[in-house]
Chains A and B, each alone.
Chain A
Amino acid sequence: MGLQAYTGPGWLLTKAEQLINWGRSRSPWPLPYGTACCGIEMMCALAASYDMARFGAERPSFSPRQADVLIEAGTITKKMVPVLRRIYDQMAEPKWVIAMGACACTGGVFRTYSTHQGISDVIPVDVYIPGCPPRPEGLLYALLKLMDKIQKDHPLRKQVVEALGG
């Protein structure tokens, strides 16, 4: 009887989830994985004109263990694929990926033997940004969309359901 009463999310669980989601979405520390021209626009978004630090992304860390969001900006060649996978695996959960630019999403205009046609088969991507390169405001819009996505996440529910054996 006790288990049946708690199958749905209660007030405490929902509130705790909201708090965690609020905290996570307001402090997305990016891992700037800039390989090509989109990297310049990403640097521009991190710089003073279109300050990404306003959203809490102040500390771009190059160490994957400390970052939340992998902003993949630029072309991924076939040589780079295992490196990208490795860096993604080294990141700590919860982690998100933004694929910035045409080359990151689908290989863009480079349908060649050396370019990997999009990173979505290497790592799971959360937000895709078309553009070549996308404007820094485009990247900020994608970051806002990612923040929305994080806010709708359910970080605690999966574990509670598993713990209850449901």
Chain B
Amino acid sequence: MAKPVVKKEYTFLERIYLWEIVKGLKLTFKHFTFNFKESLKKGPHTVPTCWQYPEDRRPIAPVFRGAHMLCLDDEGRELCVGCGMCARACPAKCITVKRGKPAEGEEGKYAGKTMSAEFTIDMLRCIFCGFCEEACPKGAIQLGQEYELAEYTMDACIYDKERLLANFQKAKAEGKLKPPKKPVPVAGGDKKAGAKKVAKKPVATDGKKSKKAASKPQAEEKKASETKREET
């Protein structure tokens, strides 16, 4: 049902409009004097509402999806094993991965048994969705916080493995690495989720089935708590 509109008659002051203009002028004057005083302050961030890039940068959320980086683990070994899951998961098909075996003396550089011989990301195709980050089984590729990515040529925007590793080093040096991920709750592993599942199955009221349904969540809950203990 449409809401009935009540049309008010304009008062005399509103009709001559000049008083309304004066009221508007008072408001803009207030804004003007406030911002003028603020703009005379020291420091890059003067006016509160304006972020004066490039000196004054807005704080970015830690989960911001910026440019990619190939991560190293705590001992400095590359985590990427060259499985190509990220390339499979990418909606824009911008990642190209070629798996290879590490050379004779270089096995200490890599955390896994295989490595990626070639790893290129075409940044101009990438939509920064983060699917590669979610798909990676080793947590090797992560989306960092770098957003200043403009270049003069298209070739300069194709990042190869060195560039991605360098991104990681830069982020580490600036302290902008991503915080460790919180464990994603497994379906049916949580007490609450388990209870919901049992309650939702009114049809299968066999003794066996309900027992199974009851035992399954308990087993998964045990597993989930074990993994939780491992990670913390």
Interface residues of B (CB under 8 A from A): 49-54, 57-58, 91-93, 122-129, 147-154, 157
Contact = CB atoms under 8 A, between A and B. Distances in A.
A134 B147 contact: yes
Contacts of A131: 128, 147, 149
A138 interface: yes
B122 A137 contact: no
Task: List 9 tightest A-B contacts by C-beta distance, closest first.
Answer: A142-B150, A130-B123, A132-B127, A109-B92, A105-B124, A141-B148, A106-B124, A129-B150, A135-B147
Nearest to B156: A128
Contact of A141 (B51, B54, B124): B54
Nearest to B125: A106
Contacts of A48: 49-50
Given A105-B124, A109-B125, A130-B126, A141 B154 contact: no
Interface string A115-141: 000101000001111111011011011
A70 to B, nearest CB: 15
A69 interface: no
A121 B115 CA distance: 37
A108 interface: yes
A50 B91 CA distance: 31
Contacts of B53: 50, 137, 140-141
A63 B69 CA distance: 41
A17 interface: no
Between B91, B128, B150, the greatest number of chain A beta carbons within 10 A of the residue's beta carbon is seen for: B150
